[in-house]
Amino acid sequence: MLHGRSDYNSGEAQKKIPEDEPVFLLRAKDQLAAGAVKQYAKAVEIHLGAEAAAPIFAWVKRMDEWPDKKMPDVPEGVTQGGEKPKEKAPE
């Protein structure tokens, strides 16, 4: 797994991120991921400036270029439309 920050690739992330802190992972193969990261990059650019956002935009480009794409997995029992499958009526 390749992280956008080299200090995270070295295993330092385990030391920096508390064990009980929620973390959300987006993969390049997820068709929706690059768009979500791009929105994050735009927010960083607004709040912290273009220099801070530049590496994130570069990461978005790499994610966009990833060849193997698919829609994200959903929890068991949930359709991709967001509705739970209807239960069959008792016969």
pLDDT in tens, 1-44: 676 667 666 666 667 888 888 888 899 999 999 999 999 999 99
Please give the tally of structural domains in the chain: 1
How many Å apart are CA 55 and CA 41, to the nearest integer?
Answer: 9
**In contact, 8 and 46? CB cutoff 8 Å:** no
How many Å apart are CA 70 and CA 54, to the nearest integer?
Answer: 26
The answer to whether residue 43 sits within a structural domain is yes
Residue 79 neighbours by CB distance under 10 Å: 10
The answer to whether residue 5 sits within a structural domain is no
The answer to whether residue 80 sits within a structural domain is no
How many Å apart are CA 91 and CA 77, to the nearest integer?
Answer: 22
pLDDT digits (tens, 9 = 90+) for 33-86: 999 999 999 999 999 999 999 999 999 999 999 999 999 887 887 776 655 555
pLDDT of residue 36: 97
The answer to whether residue 89 sits within a structural domain is no
Domain region containing 57: 22-72
The answer to whether residue 49 sits within a structural domain is yes
36 closest CA partner among 63, 1, 16: 63
pLDDT of residue 54: 97
The answer to whether residue 6 sits within a structural domain is no
Q: Which pTM was predicted?
A: 0.73
